[in-house]
Amino acid sequence: MIELRPYTQLGRANHGWLDARHHFSFAGYHDPKRMHWGHLRVWNDDIIAPQSGFPGHPHQDMEIITYVRAGAITHRDNLGNEGRTVAGDVQVMSAGTGIAHSEYNMEDEETRLFQIWILPDEKGLPPSWGTRQFPRGERSGSFVALASGMPEDTEALKIRADARLVAATLQAGQTADYAVAKGRKVYMVPASGRIEVNGVAATAGDGLAIRDEDLLRVVATETSEIVLVDVN
């Protein structure tokens, strides 16, 4: 089953400095049919204006992945962590018992990112934060795990959930396969371009909620960047 969720039909909140689309119920957007997808709770598609961002705020017991698509985001938290994550790279925050952080676009151009929240397997663990460079060339033509709680994904940033985030960049006409274990769910979004997944067409920003599929065959009908989360 592959359910297409067009970008134009997602929840939206435009605050001027932030133009956000919500794949799942979040803040002022509520849709009882789109509360979560397995343990995937939030997928926000954010555009942040230059020299603006999210002031300090707390989180608890959530795995939060930020996938930067354009520009950069600067993170600071009450643990003393500070870092700048640029387009193509990923940062991970395990909120655990509690963490307060801010995220600002300190650049002179807008920042575009996906912020993805996954429910942890275990609550009450110490909070942590990390970032890593993942040059797009490393995932050219095939899916590469960028953040994962699965033991086989040794090169990925670690999260505390039975889940993984993977990405691929495909040239027009290229194909990439992704195997789905029995009983698991996938949520996929083309960050750019246009694709077909097992014959279902999607364009940049669309969501694809997938279950009961053993193999996903992704065909790029134009040059595309694809992000997916695999969860239980």
pLDDT in tens, 31-68: 999 999 999 999 999 999 999 999 999 999 999 999 99
Residue 152 — very low, low, confident or very high, per pLDDT cuts 50/70/90?
very high
Structure tokens at 210: 């997938």
Residues 114 and 69 sit within 8 Å (Cβ to Cβ) = yes
pLDDT of residue 134: 86
CATH number, domain with residue 187: 2.60.120.10
DSSP 8: G
Tokens of 53: 């961002």
With bands split at pLDDT 50, 70 and 90, how would you rate the model's confidence at 138?
Answer: confident
The predicted pLDDT at position 139 comes to: 86
**Contact predicate 82/110, CB 8 Å:** no
Q: What stretches of 35-162 adopt beta strand conformation (E)?
A: 40-48, 52-59, 63-70, 72-77, 82-86, 90-94, 99-105, 111-118, 128-132, 144-148, 157-158
Domain containing 139 equals 2-231
Q: Is 231 exposed, middle or buried (0-12, 13-18, 19+ CB in 10 A)?
A: buried
> Is 18 within 8 Å of 49 (Cβ atoms)?
yes
The alpha carbon of 129 is separated from its chain's Cα centroid by a whole number of angstroms, namely 16
Residues 91-101: what's their mean pLDDT? 98
Domain count, the chain: 1
- Region 197-217: what's the mean pLDDT? 98
Token reading at 85: 């994550």
Judged by average pLDDT, the poorest of 132-146, 171-185, 186-200 is 132-146
Structure tokens at 92: 């991970």
Over 90: is that where the pLDDT of 5 sits?
yes
Which of the 8 DSSP states describes residue 126? P
- Identify the CA nearest to 129 among candidates 38, 175, 187, 63: 63
pLDDT of residue 136: 78
Q: Is the pLDDT at 135 greater than 80, yes or no?
A: no
